[in-house]
Structure 1
């Protein structure tokens, strides 16, 4: 199994994330991310869909209300004290929603800061309906912003002790879970400097250039995952047990 970088406790990590996203660089990153995510979610039937949003900063991550019929905000218990927008408090690895119950899911800087990102993706796959859409937003590991993060790691900054997830790695995970990546857009083609203001106010480059500080990946669920979920394997073992099958026949008689 993969060994993931140890994260700071939520009491340390969440305030650090909020502080960074309030900085000139962080505010510019967030603005461009939301524009790209709104574009990825738009579509002719979007107004009839149910959208689930998972974000490390839910109180600041706002999307266009016209994108869907309803937006559902879920977050961890450590986030509830900082945010008033959560509809329910839960663990990202055990989301309290039924199988195939949502049309669209947005993961906003979640995979980078959870204990096991692949487990979260499996849980998200369970909830998305067939032909549903998944949008993932994260820091591009091949960008000037990621280089800035290397300096932050040396200083043990909580913001930069995140998992470095490449597009290819996420694409492999999604393929195993039955998703097909439709598009990848990039934002924040700038140097991650708060001053002078030119670095956060000049016109952004094309979203197709892969050197942007953040990426927004959109994928569609087309088939069942190649590896069955753990609870499905457990049920299969029970159904194949001879004693259980015999007991079932006796009850029916």
Structure 2
């Protein structure tokens, strides 16, 4: 997927998130993110993409930013407000200093990024030792994933058609290669691929049944990981030691020069 196709896919996702199933996904992800981020401590946190949810709402770090590939309107089509994008960036070239962030959240970024591996490499670079990463994604091993596969034949897509959905096992392999150890994982949204709120409500019981009976088949998942640095041992909570400098933007040209000189 090239950068132009990636941007087109992200725009398609924006529209889909305003549909009833999109609202269903946003509600589940907001609730889980509030739970996961509430007790992550530090000083600097960044949410990359998906301004339709506030991934850092429950987090108490003093400096939190929303970053995206472009500025966004202040409101969605349904009238609900969007947060202002503080940093515009390229997913594959993050404008933050190395080891400057305590938390990065990637909601549905990897599956619509032109270079998902490069995005993860950049996240690993900007995270401090023991810094944390949370990733949200669509689960290909679900009823929604099956619908997406059959849509290649029928043309009747339920999810944005150009997304390259990544299984959780595959994602964990990618993280392991970068010394990002997965610590928690969650699945949610077990209702079938329904387009209307009426039918989603009728299948609401499947969220409770699914989490008990077929827990790995939810339509979306969330993975939390920690950056491990070999040979390094932290004494006490990492967030009690404030570094001398806050994260600063690093122009891509300077970053490449540092890598060549390094």
- Is the Cα contact below 8 Å between 1:7 and 1:162 reproduced in 2? no
Q: Which residue of 2 aligns with 1:211?
A: 217
**How do 1:94-109 residues align onto structure 2 when only pairs under 5 Å count?**
94-109=93-108
Question: TM-score normalized by structure 1?
Answer: 0.77
Cα gap change, 1:152 to 1:175, in 2 (>3 Å) = same
- Is the Cα contact below 8 Å between 2:181 and 2:225 reproduced in 1? yes
- Between the aligned partners of 2:57 and 2:11, the Cα distance in structure 1 is 27
Question: TM-score normalized by structure 2?
Answer: 0.75
Q: Which residue of 2 aligns with 1:251?
A: none
State the Cα distance separating 1:36 from its structure 2 match. Answer: 1.4
Q: What is the SS of the residue equivalent to 1:8?
A: helix
**How do 1:53-202 residues align onto structure 2 when only pairs under 5 Å count?**
53-55=47-49, 57-58=50-51, 60-63=52-55, 65-69=57-61, 70-76=63-69, 79-82=70-73, 85-154=84-153, 155=155, 159-195=160-196, 197-200=198-201, 202=204
Q: Which residue of 2 aligns with 1:239?
A: none
State the Cα distance separating 1:134 from its structure 2 match. Answer: 0.4
- State whether structure 2 residue 5 is matched by structure 1 residue 8: yes
The count of corresponding residues between Structure 1 and Structure 2 is 222
**Bigger mean CA deviation after superposition, 98-107 or 193-202:** 193-202
Q: Which residue of 2 aligns with 1:235?
A: 261
In structure 2, stretches of 5+ residues that fail to align are 75-82, 231-254
Which of 19, 29, 36 is the equivalent residue of 2:32?
Answer: 36
Find runs of 4+ consecutive structure 1 residues off by over 6 angstroms: 229-233
**CA-atom RMSD in angstroms:** 2.8
State the Cα distance separating 1:231 from its structure 2 match. Answer: 7.3
Cα gap change, 1:100 to 1:233, in 2 (>3 Å) = closer
- Is the Cα contact below 8 Å between 2:6 and 2:112 reproduced in 1? no
**Bigger mean CA deviation after superposition, 87-96 or 145-154:** 145-154
Q: Which residue of 1 aligns with 2:44?
A: 50
- Is the Cα contact below 8 Å between 2:34 and 2:57 reproduced in 1? no
- Is the Cα contact below 8 Å between 2:33 and 2:56 reproduced in 1? no
